[in-house]
Amino acid sequence: MTPSHTSVNPLLHNARLQIGMQIIVMAALLLCVALPAHAAGSNMPWEAPLQSVLESIQGPVARIIAVIVIITTG
């Protein structure tokens, strides 16, 4: 038997199918059991000052102007 005919062996073919099916079943089970990842507070240093700026802004026009200023100044 030449090496090119070893892949035609039905026992190897069945074993590969069985291993492939086991991998698919395990992946499906892991996806079903996976817990959701909830967002956590990052506590970045710029969050508190930015939040205070946002709270001090009153009205839609002031908010638009503040957003434009923040975007243009970087």
In SS3 terms, 31-45 reads as: HHHCCCCCCCCCCCC
Top pLDDT among 71 and 51 is at 71
Provide the domain count of the chain: 1
Top pLDDT among 30 and 42 is at 30
pTM for this entry = 0.38
Residue 3, in any domain of the structure: no
Residue 50, in any domain of the structure: no
The string of pLDDT tens digits covering residues 1-17 is 555 555 567 777 888 88
Residue 43, in any domain of the structure: no
pLDDT reported for residue 22: 93
Residue 19, in any domain of the structure: yes
Measured between alpha carbons, how far is residue 40 from residues 26, 44, 47, 61 in Å?
A: 29, 12, 14, 32
- Sequence-distant (6+) residues with CB within 8 A of 21 are none
Q: Which domain holds residue 12?
A: 8-33
Average pLDDT over residues 37-59: 75
